[in-house]
Structure 1
Amino acid sequence: MNNENEIVEDLKNWKELIKPYATPEVKLARKEVWKTVLPFVLLFIAAAIIYEFTFWGAIGVCFLAGLFLTRVFIIQHDCGHQSFFPDRTKNDRTGFIMSLMTCIPYKYWARSHNHHHAHQGQLDTRTIGDVTLLTVREYNELSTWGKLKYRIYRSLPVMFVLGPIYYIFIHNRFPFIKFNGWDKERKALTRTNLYLLLFFAVLGLLLGLPHLDIWYGFKKLTVLYVPILMTFAFTAIWFFYMQHQHDPNYKAWKQDWQFVLAAIKGSSYYKLPKIFNFFTGNIGYHHIHHLAPKVPFYKLEKCSKENPIFQKYVTTITLLSSMKYAFYTLWDEENYKMITFRQLKKIPVKA
C-alpha cells in the first residue's frame, strides 16, 4: 500500500506531463496510413500472384501481410479512441475503412474497448473487453465442472489457437453485449457484417476474373485471407493479453480502485525489438496508453523517452519473460498477485 501511495504521489501531475503528446497530427497520421495500408495491399497482391506458382510461397507472403494487418488494426484502434486524427469524422471514416480489412467491427469494438479502459483492473467489472479472470476464492467456490470449464478456457490451445478463430469469426460477428444503451453499436455491427460480405464478394470476383471462374476466386480469397487474419488475430491477442497478465499487477474492487494504479501497475511495458514495436504500433507502451488513450500510437515512444517517471513503477516484460505469463490464470487476493494453477495447489483452501 505504501508503494501505491508513492506512485499516486509521484504521478499526481501526470495529466500535465501527458498533455503535449495527446495531440494527434494530420500529417503524421497520414504518413502512418501510407506506410501501413500500402504495404499490406501490395503484399496481398503479391500473394495472389505468387499463389499461381507456389502455394507455400504465397502463404509466406500472407504471414508478412498479417503482421501489417496488425498495424492496420492499431490505426483502427486509435481511431476508436479518437486519437489518430484531430477530427472525429476523419477518425470514424478511417476506422471504418480499416475495419473492412481487419474484420473487426469499428463502432462495436471501439465501445467495448473503451469500456475496458474505463474499468481495467476493476474486479467488479470483468465482462466486456477482457479475458475472463477469476479470483482464487471465486475459483474454489466453483463446482468440479465449473473448474474444468475455466481451466479449459484458460488453457493455451483455447486462448491462443481456438481463441483467435473464435474472436474473428464469432465474437465480433454477433452482438453478444446486451446492455442498455448499446442499440447503435449493435446496429453498426450488423451493417459492418453486410459491408464485409460486399467487400469480400467484390474481392473474390476480382480474383476469379483472370480464370473466368468465380468459385476459383473465392477459394483463392479464402486460402489467402484466412492465414492473414489468423496471423493478425494471434499477434493482437498475444500482445494485448500479455499486457495485463503479468506480475506484479494491480486488481481491486471498485471501492478501492484507482485509475492511475490500474494504468501503471495493471498494465505493463512490453520492451520489444524495434521491428515488433513497428508492427504492433508501439502497443508495448501499454501503461502510457492506458493512462492516456488520447496519445496516438505514433507519439507513445517519444512520450516514454521524455518522461522516465512513467517507467519507474511499471512492470517491464520482454518476449522471453512474457512466455510464463501465458500460464497466469488467477488473481490471489490474499497475496495480491497473479498465480498459475500449479501455484494454486500450494494455497490452503479456507473452510
Structure 2
Amino acid sequence: MTLDYTSHPAEIVGSGEVKGVKKMVTVDDLRRAIPAYCFKPSYIKSLFFLFRDLLVISAFGTAAWFYIPEIQYTPARYVAWVFYGYMQGLAFTGFWVLGHECGHGSFSPSKLLNNSLGWVIHSSLMTPYFAWQSTHRRHHIYANNLAKDHNYVPPQAEQYAKVLGMSTEQLESLDEMTEDAPLAAFGRIVMQQLLGWPMYLFNNITASAGSLYGKQSEKLLGNSHLNPWSTLFRPEEAHLMIASDIGLFLTASGLYWAGQNFGVASIALLYGQPYLWLNHWIVAITYLHHTHPKLPKYQAEAWTFMKGALATVDRNLGWSGKHMLHNIADYHVIHHLFSRIPHYYTKEATEAIQPLLGEQYHEDRGNFNAAMWDSFNKCQWVKADDVEDEKERAYWFKAGPIPPPESDMKKRAWI
C-alpha cells in the first residue's frame, strides 16, 4: 500500500479562521495573497542547494582530515577540531533540512525523488526517514493541540505538580516562581539539547498520549520511531518503517567500517561531534518554534488548524540561519501554514501574508541563545485562562522550578 504523507494539513482537518486586522482571515485568504509560483518547487533550485550542501560538507571534511592533524601546537589543533565540529554541524543540519523538505513534498514535484532523496539524506544522518515523516506530518496537522501534537506538549498543572511532589493547590498558590540557580538551569538545557532528539526517536518523548494509535505501550520501544509495529504507526505503515531501519543500519554499518579502517577517534571527530551539533539544532529550533511565554496552546475543543499554526514564532538565526540552515528557523510560521512551500520562497511568502495576519503573526528576532534561556525558565507548564467558553479557551505558559534530573522522563514533556 502506498501512503501519502504530503497532503496539506488544512485539507485534512479544515482551516479554521483567526481574527486578523480587519476581518476573519482564512487559509484561502492567505493562499491567494502568496504568489502562485511559491507553491511550485523547482528542480533546478532544489538540486542546486542539495549539491551546494554536499560540496560544503565535503570541503569541511576534507580540510579537517588533511590539515587539522598537521597542526603541531596542541591547543590550536583542539580549537580547530572544535571549530570544524561546529561548522560541519551547521552543514549537517542544513542537509537534514533538505531531507525535511523531501518529507513534506516541497523539494521537488516528484514524490519518488522526494522520498528517495529524503531516505538517503536522513539515513545518512541517523534519522529514520519514513518514521519521522509519519509523526512529523501529524505534528503539522495538530500543531499546538494539547491532546494530539507530537512536539513539545507541555504539562498541565496536575502533571507538573506531580513531578514536583506537590499538590495542584500548592503549585497555583505560588504567586512568583523562583528560578533555579543559573548553573543548574544551564545543566538542564544541556541535557535537553543532548538527549531531546534521541529520546524523541526512542520513546516519543514530548508528544501527547493522543498522538498514538491506541493505548500507550509499556514495552521497550513500544512507542518508538525505531519499532515498525510501535503505537506510533498504523499496521499498514510497517514496511516503510522497516525501510527506515534499514537506512539506519546501513549508515551504522558504514560508520563501524570507517572506524575499523580509519580509527574510532577520527570518525568521532569527523562525524560524531558534528552529529551532536545536529542534535542540538534540531531540538533548539523545534523547541523555540513552539515555546514562547506569549504564545498559547489549545485543548481539542478550542483548537483549529489556523490557531495551532499561528501559535508558532519565527526566530532569528542570522547568517547561519539564512545561508546554512535554509531559513528553517527564520520563517517557520509560513511552513506551518503551507508546508509545501520550498525554503527558498518562505521569506517572500511570509512577507505576502503579514499584512493580512497583523498581530496574529508572531516573530522574535532577538538573540537565539537568550530566547532559549528565557523560554526554558518561563515555559515550564501551562494553565487555562478564565474564559468560560471552552471553544475560546487557551492555555498559557507559566514559570516554575525545573524538576530534578531523576524525575520520570515520560512525565517531563518539556525535555
Q: TM-score range by the shorter chain?
A: 0.7 to 0.9
Q: 1:100 to 1:133 in 2, by over 3 A?
A: same
- Indicate conservation of the 8 Å contact 2:381/2:397, yes or no: yes
Q: Quote the offset at 1:330 in angstroms.
A: 1.1
Match of 2:59 among 11, 23, 42: 42
2:326 counterpart SS class: coil
Could you report, residue by residue, the CA deviation over 1:255-283 in whole angstroms, capped at 9, with x for unpaired residues?
A: 2211111111x111213424322222111
2:412 counterpart residue number: none
- Aligned residues of 2:193 and 2:279 also touching (Cα < 8 A): no
1:325 paired residue number: 375
Amino acid at match of 1:163: G
Q: Which residue of 1 aligns with 2:25?
A: 10
SS in 1 for 2:40: coil
Query: What residue in structure 1 maps to residue 154 of structure 2?
Result: 133
Query: 1:43 touches 1:62 (CA, 8 Å); kept in 2?
Result: no
The 5 A counterparts of 1:1-351 are 4-6=18-20, 9-11=24-26, 13-18=29-34, 19-54=36-71, 55-56=77-78, 57-126=80-149, 128=150, 130-140=151-161, 144=165, 155-164=188-197, 166=199, 174-175=226-227, 177-179=230-232, 180-181=234-235, 182-204=237-259, 214=261, 216-264=262-310, 266-283=311-328, 284-309=330-355, 312=358, 313-320=360-367, 322-323=371-372, 324-327=374-377, 328-334=379-385, 336-341=395-400
User: In structure 1, what is the equivalent of residue 219 of structure 2?
Assistant: none
Q: Given residue 174 of structure 1, which amino acid in structure 2 is its aligned partner?
A: L
Q: Which moved more, 1:270-279 or 1:103-112?
A: 270-279
Shift of 1:118: 0.8
Report what 1:208 is aligned to.
none
In 1, Cα distance between equivalents of 2:274 and 2:366: 22
Worse-superposed segment, 34-43 or 15-24:
15-24
Cα distance in 2 for residues equivalent to 1:146 and 1:80: 43
SS in 2 for 1:178: coil
TM-score (normalised: structure 2): 0.70
Deviation, 1:143, is: 7.2
More helix by share: 1
Distance (whole Å) between structure 1 residues aligned to residue 375 and residue 158 of structure 2: 20
Query: Does structure 1 retain, via aligned residues, the 8 Å contact 2:313–2:363?
Result: yes
Question: CA 1:60/1:168 → structure 2, altered by over 3 Å: closer, same or farther?
Answer: farther
What is the alpha-carbon distance in structure 2 between the residues aligned to residue 68 and residue 187 of structure 1? 28
Helix, strand or coil at the partner of 1:95: helix
1:309 partner amino acid: P
Identity, % of aligned pairs? 17
Secondary structure class of the residue paired with 2:144: coil
Q: 1:73 & 1:111 partners in 2: Cα distance?
A: 16
Structure 2 contact 104–339 (Cα < 8 Å) conserved: yes
Rounded to whole Å, the distance in 2 between the matches of 1:11 and 1:50 is: 55
Amino acid paired to 1:47: A
Aligned partner of residue 242 in structure 2, secondary structure? helix
- CA deviations 1:6-64 (Å, max 9, x no partner) are 47713451232345411111011011112212101221121122342244223322221
Structure 1, residues 284-340: CA drift from partner, whole Å, max 9, x if none? 211100001011111101212333336622221134352311221211212642121
**For residues 65 and 167 of structure 2, what CA distance do their matches in structure 1 show?**
46
Secondary structure class of the residue paired with 2:308: helix
Residue 85 of structure 2 contacts residue 270 of structure 2 at CA under 8 Å; is this kept in 1? Answer: yes
The match for 2:209 is none
The CA distance in 1 between the partners of 2:167 and 2:56, in whole Å, is 46
Query: Does the CA-based 8 Å contact 1:108-1:188 persist in structure 2?
Result: no
Q: How far apart are the structure 2 equivalents of 1:342 and 1:195?
A: 43
Query: What is the alpha-carbon root mean square deviation over aligned residues?
Result: 3.1
Alpha carbons of 1:311 and 1:43: their partners in 2 closer, same or farther (altered >3 Å)?
farther
SS for the counterpart of 1:52 is helix
- Opposite residue 15 of structure 1, the aligned amino acid is R
CA contact (8 A) 1:73 1:102 kept: yes
- 1:137 deviates by 4.0
Structure 1: runs of 5 or more not aligned = 206-213, 344-351
Whether contact under 8 Å (1:59, 1:224) holds in the other structure is no
Deviates more, 1:154-163 or 1:17-26: 154-163
Within 1, Cα distance between the matches of 2:95 and 2:257? 20
Q: How big is the shift at 1:166?
A: 4.6
Q: How many residues align?
A: 326
Partner amino acid for 1:162? L
Q: Give the C-alpha shift of residue 202 in structure 1.
A: 4.9
Task: Find the counterpart in structure 2 of residue 209 from structure 1.
Answer: none
In 1, the alpha carbon distance for the partners of 2:355 and 2:146 equals 27
1:119/1:307 CA distance change after superposition, 3 Å: closer
Q: Distance in 1 between matches of 2:167 and 2:93?
A: 34
Give me the whole-angstrom Cα distance separating, in 2, the residues matched to 1:319 and 1:224: 32
TM-score by length of structure 1 reads 0.82
Distance 1:26 1:114 in 2: 23
SS at match of 1:10: strand
Q: Is the 8 A contact 1:22 1:296 kept in 2?
A: yes
